[in-house]
Amino acid sequence: MRLIEEKFRNLKKRSEGALIGFIICGDPTLSYTLAIVHALIEGGIDMLELGIPFSDPIVDGPVIQRATLRALKAGVRPSKVLDLARRIHIMHPNIPIIILTYYNIIFRMGLENFFNNVRENKIDGVIVPDMPIEESSEYRAVADRYDVATIFLAAPSTSDERLEKIIEYSSGFTYLVSVFGVTGARERLRKESINFIRRASSISNGRIPIAVGFGISKPSHIRAIIDNGADGAIVGSKIIQIIEGNINNDIEMLSKLKKYVRILKKSTINDK
């Protein structure tokens, strides 16, 4: 059993949803990233999603775009991200690590070489926002050989028929994009988002966990998505906002990150 699946199973036994924290690796530097990861894990995240900086992040809003630019200026490259993932795994072996990258990076490395490096660096899953399922057969086959989860995204506009295929082709979990547009913290969840979660949960029918991202930033958001059928929440932009707002005060940054994550994690627990 992959570590991602084991984590979801154990959380379900404890009546908890998964809290997945997303950051851009190397924002603002690689050494900062390691300290930030420790703070997030101490705060209570269940899984870590590391974004590989890419010059054209098409699904990302301004907060994550600025983080990506800071990481690129710091000289962060894919090989350094993979190496950092291995170091994180050594220190936190029970935390699943997921990489988010665009396909151009994989193409340049070569599928076989990419997944070999992913596996050697103890990464459990990969998200590729610009990888359509219709073109993913070779990608999935190579990932499966290296026992790496392939996590596909579905948007609110996704038809039931296509959503069924996305769920079928995903491993680890299926990533639901809660809103139209790009990433970024929102004030509230729209009714359309809740209806989408219910629809996806019904189609999945427990075959694979469902995690929801894009716009998730408050405890009330997390409680709502879990109450309506999701197994986990992905929080990124708000975490990165805290990093961005405290770049010149690392003590304050790490303290605020731990406090924020602790509050979010409490909302994943069903104490009824």
Nearest to 158 by CA among 172, 142, 177, 181: 177
Cβ neighbors of 250 (< 8 A, separation 6 or more) are: 32, 35
Quickly tell me which residue has 């970024």 as its tokens.
184
- The catalytically annotated residue of 16, 46, 60, 124 is 60
49 as an active site residue: the answer is yes
161 as an active site residue: the answer is no
Quickly tell me which residue has 């009824």 as its tokens.
272
- The catalytically annotated residue of 5, 49, 124, 231 is 49
Cβ count near 56 (within 10 Å): 10
Known catalytic residues are 49, 60
